[in-house]
Amino acid sequence: MAIYVLKRIGLAMMLVWLVATLIFMILHAVPGDPAELLLSQGGVAPDPAQVEELREQLGLNLPLLTQYWNYLSGVLQGDLGSSLQDGHAVAEEIWLRLPRTLELIGAAALLSLLIGLPTGILAARRVNTLLDRVLSVTASVFLSIPVFVVGTLSVLIFSQQLRIVPAGGYTPPSKDLMGHLVLLAMPAGTIAVGLAAVVFRTTRNAMLEILGRDFVRAAHAKGVKEKRIVVHHVLRNALIPIVTVFALQIGTLLGGTVLVEYVFNWPGLSGYLVRSVEARDYPEVVGIVLVISILFVLLNLAVDLLYAALDPRVRYAR
Amino acid sequence: MRISIPKDIRLPLALVGGIFLITLLVPFLPLENPVQMLMGSRLAPPSLENPLGRDEYGRDVLSRILWGARTSLSVAFAAALVAGIAGTFLGLIGGYFRGVAELLTVRASEVILCLPPLLLALLVVTLLGPGAGTLIISLGILYTPGYARVVYAETLSVRALDYVAAQETLGTHPARILLRTVLPNVMSPLIVQFSLTVASAMVLESGLSFLGLGVVPPEPSWGLMIRSARSTMEQAPLLLVWPCLALSGAVIMLNILCDKLRDVLDPRSKSSPSGASTRRRVAARLLPGLVGDDEASVIQIKGLTLQIAGLKEQPVVRDVSFSVRPGETVALVGESGSGKTLTGLALLGLLPPAVKVTSGSVEFTRRDGTKVDLLSLPDTERRKLRGDEISMIFQDPSGSLNPVHRVGDQVAEAMLVHRDMSSAAAGERAVELLAKVGLPDPERRARSYPHELSGGQKQRAMIASAISNKPKLLIADEPTTALDVTIQAQILELLDGLRRESSQMGMIFVTHNLAVVAEIADRVCIMYAGEIVEEGPVGEVFAAPKHPYTRALLASVPEGGAKRLSAIPGSVPTPDKFPAGCRFASRCERASPECKIGILSLQAVGDQRVSRCLKWKEVA
């Protein structure tokens, strides 16, 4: 078990390094001079003096390996450079917004499990009934609607037409906890809808598969109560594929956050990212993409560890 | 060549095809120019000329929706194609040459998967600036590893096929093998992957355009239309609804097509297991005896008849009757599917949903001496008996243990369910039981998970669990079939020892193995096609069978003295083809016309012996 955990952590650290390198490579593999690319607007060639200044500022005149070294050691020390627009330290800006994004992701994940698991179990136990079909079709629909469409239509319905909740914004929880949660509800719910559909589907199919296993019959033969069989024997095993599929959704979840933060003016990491991309603020974009990617790797690490906790076979097999 | 399209995908294929057709025909339709502004008619409501109204610049919304479909689809299509070509190439090379090539192609491309998809696209947009071309490049990069993985996996399996190996041996050039042999074989998963990618790329494209980082205005795109309609939501909410509907509808249709395509082309990944295919076992055949009421029995089964829903004519198990006394072992013997297992499951109330009890009674004598009919007992009451007074051991010990729980906990479970004891006490008792069934180092075994035990050890654990509450009746369903021969003997010894130890416990031993019967059973019920054909004390039945089927079965057992083995000609009829009269008649050399009419009943053929043969005197 300890070996497995150490291996996974080692692998995650390697992935972080790979991601950092990949981002560096993308920046330098793009044909042309990044400084020139960044300064050119609407096809007008930029002022060479300006380009030179930017190259100097970004350290683009140094040898490639030195640049790579500076970049990596900067990342290790938590220095992600400063914004081209206002000179603020990128790391500080990210540090300020990261908790808000994490809160949104956490709330959405929790909500999707709260919706997806019980409905999935229900559908599996009533398989091929009307209820099962209605739930399955609903899930297929929600699975297909892009997250920003759900968000935009939610604003249209709940804020603009029904006027139940504000269309977006943010209140710090320290100032007004209730107001904070009200504003959190719609963006978190928007992300959760699609995720819940995935959880539902996986739960239903995994439960159905496991309900047919011999050990379920053996548990019945022991006289175990139906409820305990469903939770202790079936769901406990179904959690393994559910966690796997959930892990595959993490990337989509992080992408969805970008769009949802934008729709609801949630001042998290991703809204910041969109503005940086619009302004083509190179250090900002690199910093944010790097941080979110590390988050991605860490979440996957968490899933791997959870996986080992759930499935005793994994701990020994690898 | 005529291609037949499976029925399941015709409708979604037609719908998606329709969308494609529209995007192709858009330039020829009588539509307004989608970018032509008409500031005088800003936000005009729907009218005859503009069925969906006009947007904030006075442009025709219907025209923009249709042209937007063209943009979205062509970007998604182009990206999927770029990724498809690149990924297929990498996957083929990596899967065919393995080694360093695999590292440089498939594994290298997978690094892309370390970045969340939307972020990678944003990174590329930052560098190249927004626009359709950038979108195609970034989405293309994004989806390459997906294809590479799929093609890689398929290439590996195709490469292992004999005819590919044969080509290699003949010295065919790898390029030729890859293009002519491997590529056509990976086509099915490629098609599925392609449709998945188009759907996903459409969602990403519209998302990026929605952020203002994808398609550049004024070009129409659904994402862009949603973006701009947000600002006029107050005045014209419908402007927001149309592109949302178009986008969601298109994605839903594509996704349905993907699901169906996957079901049709890739049978390994059924998107949902169909509930209708609930295991339908071809059932048993058993028939009971003329045995009268047996007051001393642990369990007395009378006229048990089981039917598969949907097979109205013939019951799969008919009129099975027998009884088990305390301390007695009764063997139920028959070929696979003769109904012996169904009979065992029926006693516990664990029949598969498709099988129903249609008549009969099962009288069980409880520990306190009261008698209950197991078949008419409410479910909750029957559950209280299961694992307590009646327990069962199954054929496959590996499947019967839950892989995620410790062995000791699973042995203790039956005690925790039925007894008022602490889990610590149950745990200790479980260790004692594991020791009793002969597991070495029981403390450690109790803490182990099932995958750490051998097959024989697992079956011992299952037996420990079954006897944990000192049952009055133990049903063992082929408990040794899945085990090695040497282990089989040990398990039989264990079961026999347990039975002798407790004079109160009766045992029903279900098996197809006559040698095992001779070793363990006191009496035997021979089943054929859902009926008991002969019943009696083991020694007498084996020495002088009174039914041709028993006789034939005995003749087919390899025993020391036998000069040759005789197989029984023909095969067991399936439940829907059970004949009238004697069900064995078609395979019996003594069969005459009167054997094939009516329903044969069991006849007494000696003390405590019955046979369902009209000519039992001749058999002897």
**Distance of alpha carbon A19 from alpha carbon A287, whole angstroms:** 12
Q: Please, where are the H alpha helices in B212-286?
A: 222-231, 238-265
Chain B's closest residue to A140, CA to CA, is B252
Find tokens 């079901």 and name the residue: B263
* Buried b / exposed e along A282-296 (16+ C-beta atoms within 10 A): bbbbbbbbbbbbbbb
Tell me the chain B residues in contact with residue A280 when contact means C-beta distances shorter than 8 Å. 126, 129
Q: What is the DSSP string of A121-177?
A: HHHHHTTTSHHHHHHHHHHHHHHHS-HHHHHHHHIIIIIIIS--S-SS----TTT-H
Q: For residue B96, give the DSSP letter.
A: H
Per the DSSP assignment, residues forming a β-bridge with B357 are B306
Closest C-alpha among B413, B156, B158, B481 to residue A222: B413
Tell me the chain B residues in contact with residue A205 when contact means C-beta distances shorter than 8 Å. 271-273
Closest C-alpha among B345, B375, B355 to residue B279: B355
Task: Decide if the complex's ipTM is over 0.90.
Answer: no
Tell me the chain B residues in contact with residue A204 when contact means C-beta distances shorter than 8 Å. 272
From A205's Cα to the closest Cα of chain B, the distance in A is: 6
Alpha carbon separation from A145 to A256, B117, B204 (Å, rounded): 12, 18, 12
Q: What is the pLDDT of residue B293?
A: 58
Is B273 in contact with A147 (Cβ distance < 8 A)? no
Task: Identify which of A19, A37, A218 has the shortest CB distance to residue B114.
Answer: A19
Chain B contact for A298 (CB, 8 A cutoff): no
Is B237 in contact with A215 (Cβ distance < 8 A)? no
Tell me the chain A residues in contact with residue B124 when contact means C-beta distances shorter than 8 Å. 26
Per the DSSP assignment, residues forming a β-bridge with B165 are none
Tell me the chain B residues in contact with residue A258 when contact means C-beta distances shorter than 8 Å. 118-119, 122, 211
Is B240 in contact with A224 (Cβ distance < 8 A)? no
Q: What is the pLDDT of residue A40?
A: 64
Per the DSSP assignment, residues forming a β-bridge with B523 are B330, B537
Q: What is the pLDDT of residue B598?
A: 78
Task: Identify which of A205, A222, A292 has the shortest CB distance to residue B387.
Answer: A222
Tell me the chain B residues in contact with residue A136 when contact means C-beta distances shorter than 8 Å. 272
Task: Identify which of A128, A201, A259 has the shortest CB distance to residue B210.
Answer: A259
Q: What is the pLDDT of residue A150?
A: 92
Chain B's closest residue to A43, CA to CA, is B129
Report the sign of the C-alpha dihedral through residues A150, A152, A153, A159, in that order: positive
Q: What is the pLDDT of residue B80?
A: 93
Closest C-alpha among A211, A234, A223, A226 to residue B416: A223
Q: Are strands B473-477 and B506-511 parallel, antiparallel or unpaired?
A: parallel
Please report, in tens digits, the pLDDT of each residue of chain A (318 residues total): 778 888 888 888 888 888 888 888 877 766 666 677 666 655 566 777 877 887 777 777 778 888 888 888 888 888 888 887 787 888 888 898 899 999 999 999 999 999 999 999 999 998 889 999 999 999 989 988 999 999 999 999 888 888 888 888 888 888 888 888 889 999 999 999 989 999 999 999 899 989 888 899 999 999 899 899 999 999 999 988 888 888 878 877 888 888 899 899 899 887 788 888 877 777 888 888 888 888 888 888 888 888 888 888 776 554
Is A222 in contact with B273 (Cβ distance < 8 A)? no
Tell me the chain A residues in contact with residue B271 when contact means C-beta distances shorter than 8 Å. 205
Chain B's closest residue to A147, CA to CA, is B207
Tell me the chain B residues in contact with residue A155 when contact means C-beta distances shorter than 8 Å. 230, 233
Tell me the chain A residues in contact with residue B212 when contact means C-beta distances shorter than 8 Å. 278
From B369's Cα to the closest Cα of chain A, the distance in A is: 20
Q: Which of B15, B112, B120, B122 to mutate to test the interface with A (most CBs of A within 10 A)?
A: B122
Cβ-contact B391, B415 below 8 angstroms: no
Q: What is the pLDDT of residue A197?
A: 92
Tell me the chain A residues in contact with residue B213 when contact means C-beta distances shorter than 8 Å. 274, 277-278
Is B392 in contact with A221 (Cβ distance < 8 A)? yes
Q: Are strands B299-308 and B317-324 parallel, antiparallel or unpaired?
A: antiparallel
Chain B contact for A278 (CB, 8 A cutoff): yes
Q: Which of A222, A272, A274, A297 to mutate to test the interface with B (most CBs of B within 10 A)?
A: A222
Size of interface A-B (CB pairs under 8 A): 222
Residues 4 through 63 of chain A touching chain B, CB cutoff 8 Å: 15, 18-19, 22-23, 26-27, 30, 34, 37
Task: Identify which of B240, B259, B350 has the shortest CB distance to residue A156.
Answer: B240
Phi, psi of B497 (to 5 degrees): -60, -45
Is A312 in contact with B403 (Cβ distance < 8 A)? yes
Q: Which pair of tokens denotes residue B437?
A: 């069934």
Cβ-contact B348, A221 below 8 angstroms: yes
Closest C-alpha among B120, B125, B122 to residue B109: B120
Task: Identify which of A208, A223, A297 has the shortest CB distance to residue B275.
Answer: A208
Q: What is the pLDDT of residue B157?
A: 83
Tell me the chain A residues in contact with residue B113 when contact means C-beta distances shorter than 8 Å. 251
Alpha carbon separation from B299 to A295, B329, B364, B372 (Å, rounded): 63, 12, 4, 10
The model's pTM is 0.79
Number of H helices, E strands in chain A: 15, 0
From B248's Cα to the closest Cα of chain A, the distance in A is: 5
Cβ-contact B263, B201 below 8 angstroms: no
Tell me the chain A residues in contact with residue B418 when contact means C-beta distances shorter than 8 Å. 223
Find tokens 């093998």 and name the residue: B177
Could you tell me which residues come within 8 angstroms of residue B11 by beta carbon, excluding any fewer than 6 positions away?
none
Please identify every stretch of chain B with a pLDDT value under 50, giving residue numbers as ranges: 1, 268-292, 562
From B31's Cα to the closest Cα of chain A, the distance in A is: 26
Q: Which of A148, A270, A272, A306 to mutate to test the interface with B (most CBs of B within 10 A)?
A: A148
Q: What is the pLDDT of residue A240?
A: 87
Q: Which of B16, B113, B115 to mutate to test the interface with A (most CBs of A within 10 A)?
A: B115
